[in-house]
Copies of this chain bind each other. A is one copy, B any other.
Amino acid sequence: MSIFPKLSFKNQAFKLRESAILDAATAVLSNKGYDLMTMDDVAGAVGISKPSLYKHFKSKEELVGEALIRLLDGALDYVAGLDAALGPVEKLAALLEWALRVRLEGGLPFLPSTSPHVRDMLMRNLKYMMKVLKLNRQLEALVKQGQEQGLLNRDLPTDVILFSYYARTCDPAVEYLQNFSKMAPDDIVRHMLKVSFEGFR
C-alpha cells in the first residue's frame, strides 16, 4: 500500500505493540482506576519491561490519554456508522447502549471525569479535548433536535439532558447491578436505557 514498504512494516509492528499496550492499560484502568494503576501493572500485563513501555508512551498521563482517545474514536466511529434514517432519540439511545456494552465487556467508562485529578489531566490533553468537543457537538445537536421534535423534554435546558446523558454512560448503577444483583448484561442495558429516558416513574 505504501511507497515505503519497509518503513510501513516497522510502523505496523510498532502500532501493533502500541495497541497491545493500550489494551492492557484499558484492562488495568477499568479494574483499578487511574490512581491505583501503576506502570508496572501495565508493563507486566503486556509482558514487557517498564523502560520499554516508556519508549512508547513518555508518561502515565500520555498513556491513559491515548487509551481514552481510542475509546472516543470508537464512539465517534459508532455514531458515524449509525443509520442516517434513525431519529435523534434513536441515535442517542443506540450510542448509550453501545457505551454501556463496552463497559460491561470490561472496557472503560466513557467519561471517567469523576476524579478531579483525572478530569484536570484530560482537560490539559488537547488531542483528547478536540475529540470530546467533536462528539459533544454531535450529541448536543441530537439533543436539540429531539427537543424540537418534542421527543425529549422541552422544559429542561439542553445542558441538563446532555450532561445527564454523559453521566448515564458511566453510571455506577451498572456495576452495582452487575455485582450485587447478578443481572445479565442484556437486562442491565435494557433497564438502564429505560431508566435514563423514562425516569423512575
Q: If A160-B177, A167-B172, A172-B167 touch, does A116 touch B31 (CB 8 Å cutoff)?
A: yes
Is A4 in contact with chain B by the CB < 8 A criterion?
no
A68 nearest CB across to chain B (Å): 15
Which residues A156-172 have CB closer than 8 A to chain B? 156-157, 159-161, 163-167, 170-172
- The copy count of this chain in the complex is 2
Contact A198 B153 (CB under 8 A): yes
A interface bracket (residues with beta carbon within 8 Å of B): 35 or more
CA distance A67 to B164 in the complex (A): 28
Q: If A152-B200, A166-B176 touch, does A160 touch B191 (CB 8 Å cutoff)?
A: yes
Contact A164 B115 (CB under 8 A): no
Contact A172 B173 (CB under 8 A): no
CA distance A117 to B36 in the complex (A): 8
A12 nearest CB across to chain B (Å): 35
User: Which single residue of chain B is at the shortest CB-CB distance from A113?
Assistant: B172
User: Which single residue of chain B is at the shortest CB-CB distance from A93?
Assistant: B200
Contact of A199 among B92, B173, B198 (CB under 8 A): B198
